[in-house]
Amino acid sequence: MGSGANLAVLHRIFISIESMFRLDDTLSLTTEVLIRYLSETWERRMQRTVAVNDGKVQLFDSHLQKIVSLDKIFKTNAEWKKILTPEQYHVTTEKGTEQPFTCTFKDNKEAGIYQCLRCRTDLFETATMFDSGTGWPSYYEPVSDLNIKLEEDHSFGMNRTEVLCARCEAHLGHVFDDGPPLTGKRYCINSAALKFTKE
Protein backbone atom coordinates (compact mmCIF):
# COMPACT_ATOMS: atom_id res chain seq x y z
CA MET A 1 0.00 0.00 0.00
CA GLY A 2 1.46 3.40 -0.98
CA SER A 3 1.90 6.37 1.35
CA GLY A 4 -1.15 8.12 -0.14
CA ALA A 5 -3.37 5.11 0.60
CA ASN A 6 -1.93 4.84 4.11
CA LEU A 7 -2.69 8.50 4.72
CA ALA A 8 -6.28 8.10 3.54
CA VAL A 9 -6.84 5.16 5.86
CA LEU A 10 -5.36 7.03 8.80
CA HIS A 11 -7.54 10.03 8.07
CA ARG A 12 -10.63 7.84 8.18
CA ILE A 13 -9.52 6.38 11.49
CA PHE A 14 -8.88 9.79 13.01
CA ILE A 15 -12.23 11.11 11.75
CA SER A 16 -14.04 8.11 13.23
CA ILE A 17 -12.35 8.57 16.60
CA GLU A 18 -13.05 12.29 16.57
CA SER A 19 -16.72 11.62 15.78
CA MET A 20 -16.99 9.23 18.72
CA PHE A 21 -15.56 11.83 21.07
CA ARG A 22 -18.04 14.44 19.81
CA LEU A 23 -20.93 12.11 20.65
CA ASP A 24 -19.88 12.13 24.29
CA ASP A 25 -20.45 15.58 25.81
CA THR A 26 -18.51 14.61 28.92
CA LEU A 27 -15.24 14.66 26.99
CA SER A 28 -13.41 17.97 27.04
CA LEU A 29 -12.62 20.13 24.06
CA THR A 30 -8.95 19.55 24.85
CA THR A 31 -9.31 15.92 23.79
CA GLU A 32 -10.80 16.91 20.44
CA VAL A 33 -8.05 19.47 19.87
CA LEU A 34 -5.43 16.85 20.70
CA ILE A 35 -6.84 14.39 18.18
CA ARG A 36 -7.00 17.05 15.48
CA TYR A 37 -3.39 18.02 16.26
CA LEU A 38 -2.26 14.39 15.98
CA SER A 39 -4.05 14.04 12.65
CA GLU A 40 -2.45 17.18 11.21
CA THR A 41 0.98 16.23 12.55
CA TRP A 42 0.74 12.81 10.91
CA GLU A 43 -0.27 14.37 7.60
CA ARG A 44 2.72 16.71 7.67
CA ARG A 45 5.02 13.79 8.50
CA MET A 46 3.64 11.75 5.62
CA GLN A 47 4.15 14.67 3.24
CA ARG A 48 7.79 14.98 4.33
CA THR A 49 8.26 11.25 3.83
CA VAL A 50 6.88 11.46 0.30
CA ALA A 51 9.21 14.37 -0.45
CA VAL A 52 12.24 12.42 0.76
CA ASN A 53 11.29 9.33 -1.22
CA ASP A 54 10.71 11.05 -4.55
CA GLY A 55 14.32 10.46 -5.62
CA LYS A 56 15.50 13.99 -4.77
CA VAL A 57 17.95 15.14 -2.11
CA GLN A 58 18.70 18.64 -0.87
CA LEU A 59 22.38 19.55 -0.83
CA PHE A 60 24.43 22.68 -0.22
CA ASP A 61 26.32 23.85 -3.32
CA SER A 62 29.54 25.62 -2.25
CA HIS A 63 29.96 27.37 -5.60
CA LEU A 64 26.40 28.72 -5.72
CA GLN A 65 26.32 29.23 -1.94
CA LYS A 66 22.79 27.90 -1.68
CA ILE A 67 20.80 24.72 -1.15
CA VAL A 68 19.88 22.87 -4.35
CA SER A 69 17.62 19.90 -5.04
CA LEU A 70 19.26 17.12 -7.05
CA ASP A 71 18.45 13.56 -8.08
CA LYS A 72 19.85 10.88 -5.82
CA ILE A 73 22.29 8.57 -7.59
CA PHE A 74 21.62 4.84 -7.56
CA LYS A 75 23.97 2.33 -9.19
CA THR A 76 24.53 -1.36 -8.68
CA ASN A 77 27.85 -2.58 -7.30
CA ALA A 78 28.64 -3.94 -10.76
CA GLU A 79 28.08 -0.49 -12.28
CA TRP A 80 30.32 1.20 -9.72
CA LYS A 81 33.00 -1.42 -10.25
CA LYS A 82 33.17 -0.55 -13.95
CA ILE A 83 33.90 3.13 -13.38
CA LEU A 84 36.08 3.08 -10.23
CA THR A 85 39.60 1.88 -9.58
CA PRO A 86 39.91 -1.23 -7.36
CA GLU A 87 40.88 0.89 -4.34
CA GLN A 88 38.12 3.46 -4.94
CA TYR A 89 35.57 0.67 -5.28
CA HIS A 90 36.82 -1.11 -2.15
CA VAL A 91 36.59 2.04 -0.05
CA THR A 92 33.39 3.65 -1.33
CA THR A 93 31.32 0.57 -2.12
CA GLU A 94 32.70 -2.20 0.08
CA LYS A 95 33.25 0.17 3.03
CA GLY A 96 36.97 -0.47 3.09
CA THR A 97 39.76 1.65 4.59
CA GLU A 98 42.93 2.76 2.86
CA GLN A 99 46.28 2.34 4.59
CA PRO A 100 47.23 5.25 6.89
CA PHE A 101 49.94 7.70 5.81
CA THR A 102 49.40 6.73 2.15
CA CYS A 103 46.54 9.15 1.56
CA THR A 104 46.64 11.52 -1.40
CA PHE A 105 45.41 14.68 0.37
CA LYS A 106 46.94 14.33 3.85
CA ASP A 107 49.38 17.23 3.35
CA ASN A 108 47.36 19.31 0.89
CA LYS A 109 47.23 23.02 1.84
CA GLU A 110 45.60 24.44 -1.30
CA ALA A 111 42.28 26.22 -0.84
CA GLY A 112 39.39 24.29 -2.31
CA ILE A 113 36.61 21.77 -1.83
CA TYR A 114 36.85 18.04 -1.30
CA GLN A 115 34.02 16.40 -3.20
CA CYS A 116 32.60 12.90 -3.26
CA LEU A 117 34.59 10.90 -5.80
CA ARG A 118 31.47 9.14 -7.09
CA CYS A 119 28.98 11.99 -7.50
CA ARG A 120 30.91 15.28 -6.97
CA THR A 121 28.87 16.35 -3.95
CA ASP A 122 30.70 19.04 -1.95
CA LEU A 123 31.85 17.52 1.34
CA PHE A 124 34.70 19.37 3.10
CA GLU A 125 36.72 22.57 2.74
CA THR A 126 40.50 22.78 3.02
CA ALA A 127 40.00 25.40 5.76
CA THR A 128 38.47 22.77 8.03
CA MET A 129 41.27 20.22 7.52
CA PHE A 130 43.72 19.53 10.36
CA ASP A 131 46.56 17.14 11.20
CA SER A 132 45.10 14.53 13.52
CA GLY A 133 48.24 12.39 13.51
CA THR A 134 46.20 9.39 12.36
CA GLY A 135 47.52 9.26 8.80
CA TRP A 136 44.14 10.00 7.23
CA PRO A 137 42.69 13.33 6.04
CA SER A 138 40.77 14.82 8.96
CA TYR A 139 38.24 17.66 9.04
CA TYR A 140 36.40 19.27 11.94
CA GLU A 141 33.16 19.91 10.04
CA PRO A 142 31.51 19.19 6.66
CA VAL A 143 30.46 21.81 4.12
CA SER A 144 26.90 21.18 5.32
CA ASP A 145 25.17 18.53 7.39
CA LEU A 146 22.85 18.14 4.39
CA ASN A 147 25.69 16.74 2.27
CA ILE A 148 26.57 13.81 4.51
CA LYS A 149 24.67 10.95 6.07
CA LEU A 150 25.58 9.39 9.42
CA GLU A 151 24.88 5.79 10.39
CA GLU A 152 25.80 3.58 13.32
CA ASP A 153 28.57 1.11 12.48
CA HIS A 154 29.13 -1.93 14.70
CA SER A 155 31.52 -3.77 12.39
CA PHE A 156 34.70 -5.41 13.73
CA GLY A 157 33.29 -5.37 17.25
CA MET A 158 33.48 -1.55 17.48
CA ASN A 159 30.83 1.12 17.97
CA ARG A 160 31.50 3.89 15.46
CA THR A 161 29.61 6.45 13.39
CA GLU A 162 29.97 5.96 9.65
CA VAL A 163 30.04 8.95 7.30
CA LEU A 164 28.43 8.52 3.87
CA CYS A 165 27.70 10.82 0.95
CA ALA A 166 24.09 11.99 1.14
CA ARG A 167 23.58 11.78 -2.63
CA CYS A 168 25.13 8.46 -3.67
CA GLU A 169 25.74 6.89 -0.22
CA ALA A 170 29.43 6.27 -0.89
CA HIS A 171 31.31 5.22 2.23
CA LEU A 172 33.62 8.09 3.19
CA GLY A 173 34.97 7.18 6.61
CA HIS A 174 33.96 7.74 10.24
CA VAL A 175 33.44 10.66 12.62
CA PHE A 176 34.79 10.73 16.17
CA ASP A 177 34.31 13.01 19.17
CA ASP A 178 37.99 13.84 19.64
CA GLY A 179 38.41 16.73 17.23
CA PRO A 180 39.50 20.36 17.75
CA PRO A 181 37.62 22.50 20.34
CA LEU A 182 35.72 24.43 17.66
CA THR A 183 33.38 21.47 17.01
CA GLY A 184 34.92 18.60 18.94
CA LYS A 185 34.53 16.43 15.84
CA ARG A 186 37.09 14.56 13.75
CA TYR A 187 35.81 13.44 10.39
CA CYS A 188 38.36 10.78 9.47
CA ILE A 189 37.93 10.41 5.71
CA ASN A 190 39.52 8.15 3.10
CA SER A 191 41.23 10.15 0.36
CA ALA A 192 40.22 7.38 -2.09
CA ALA A 193 36.62 8.56 -1.60
CA LEU A 194 37.44 12.18 -2.41
CA LYS A 195 38.12 14.44 -5.39
CA PHE A 196 39.81 17.78 -4.72
CA THR A 197 38.69 20.90 -6.61
CA LYS A 198 40.68 24.14 -6.30
CA GLU A 199 38.86 27.34 -5.56
Check 116, 119, 168, 188 and give the catalytic one. 188
Q: Around Cβ 109, how many Cβ atoms within 10 Å?
A: 6
Residue among 102, 110, 93, 112 nearest 193 (CA)? 93
Neighbours of 99 (CB within 10 A): 9
Residues 6+ away with beta carbon under 8 Å from 155: 95
Is there a catalytic annotation at residue 168? no
d(CA 47, CA 53): 10
Catalytic residue list: 188
